[in-house]
Chains A and B, each alone.
Chain A
Amino acid sequence: MIRDYGILNDQLEPDDAFLYGLPYPGVFVCDEDGVVVAKFFHDTYKKRDSPETLIDAALGRIELAEDAPRAVCEDPEVHITAAVHGGQGTIRQGIIRRLVVRFELAPGLHLYGRPVPEGMIPTTVSVRGPEGLVFGEAQYPATEPLRLPGLEVELPVWSESFDVVIPFYPDARVASETRPLDRDSLELEVEVRYQACDDEACLLPKTEKLRLTASLEVVDVPNLALHVGHGQREGSYDAMPHMRRMILRSLRRSPAGFLRFVAKNVMLEMAAWRRRRAQRRDA
């Protein structure tokens, strides 16, 4: 099935013991006809999308959960909600959550997208967080064209309600999976700049700052010697019998191949040891 899908990890060699046969991890979302409407593959298996992202892709809209951490700007003209979407707002190494900034506009008002007309303020959303939190580009929805009487050009605008999305994940600087967490939450500071207009006049440009706190969580690791003791959540099962079965199976299939895999691992460990020694010398 992995070959049928064309996603066999072709960087692994048949000798790579129990690793060979793994697919590149990723997700396909299909519609009622089985046609792919979204796919999620990343440059490293450590980056994974939140289940909410997959559900949103299937639904074609963002369903914010009640319990998502959020900050609200209660403006009667432009109501803004910033929320950490996915995993009940928790943050874990490599797991991609999304900052969703939802604009709800009073009837008749619109905000400008790009390219903005001369003298107007485009809507921008930016976010800052601690070092080690990696933010993607802000994703703005498509604008609608607005034609005003007496104006030749169409203006790119948003009205009623729309979402701006910024994907993010923590890397090992803030949430390693090989040492305990040194804090239990992270602060995000969201800055929103916009100018709301109706068909005749514009309100003053505004800059709003919203602060959010999301809790940092350990990841779930298999209960295997190489993962335990790192301060993460260890599986409450014994994974060794399965590991032994996989090792025996690859040994039976190709004893020489298995030995080559072991030799490769020894070489890699030695190279890592030399890197560590060089680092110590430099320090």
Chain B
Amino acid sequence: MTIERDQHGFDAPAPLGHPGRLGLDPGRSIGPAVGERLPDFRLPDARGREIDFHADRGASKAVVVFYRSAVW
């Protein structure tokens, strides 16, 4: 397996140019902007129960995380 360092200074076990290593162009904005309402969604939670995002968070603040793998 090839290990190469990318332009951001990170190593990964895949050659440069591999689709799995591609990033987001700097300065490009995606998704809802600050000030916009997050789109609603229905998805199963870890127990398989359907969650309705806006209805089920009640009047709480929320954090919506899209991650590649959880390494915090």
Contact = CB atoms under 8 A, between A and B. Distances in A.
B68 interface: yes
B14 A171 contact: no
B57 to A, nearest CB: 8
A82 to B, nearest CB: 23
B3 A27 contact: no
B37 A47 contact: no
Interface string B1-28: 1111110111111111111101111100
Contacts of A51: 72
A36 B68 contact: no
B33 interface: yes
A268 B18 CA distance: 7
Nearest to A230: B13
Contact of A173 (B6, B9, B39): B9
Interface string A80-113: 0000000100001111000000000000000000
B33 A36 contact: yes
7 smallest CB-CB distances across A and B, nearest first, come from A171-B9, A272-B15, A44-B23, A172-B11, A272-B2, A176-B11, A268-B15
30 contacts: A5-B31, A5-B38, A13-B19, A24-B30, A25-B68, A27-B63, A27-B66, A28-B32, A29-B63, A30-B63, A34-B62, A35-B35, A37-B61, A38-B34, A39-B32, A43-B24, A45-B23, A46-B10, A47-B8, A54-B63, A93-B10, A94-B10, A95-B71, A171-B9, A172-B10, A219-B71, A220-B70, A265-B18, A272-B16, A275-B4
A6 to B, nearest CB: 5
Interface string B23-67: 111100111111111110101000000000110010111111111
**Size range of the chain A interface in the assembly:** 35 or more
A199 interface: no
Main SS of the interface on chain A? Answer: loop
A37 to B, nearest CB: 7
B69 A222 contact: yes
A231 to B, nearest CB: 12
Interface string A52-92: 00110010000000000000000000000000000100001
B13 A36 contact: no
A13 B19 CA distance: 9
Contacts, number: 173
Main SS of the interface on chain B? Answer: loop
B8 A43 contact: yes
B2 A273 contact: yes
Given A41-B30, A177-B11, A177-B12, A92 B41 contact: no
B23 A92 contact: no
A36 B35 contact: yes
A2 interface: yes
A5 B13 CA distance: 30
A53 to B, nearest CB: 10
Given A5-B39, A11-B22, A275-B4, A45 B15 contact: no
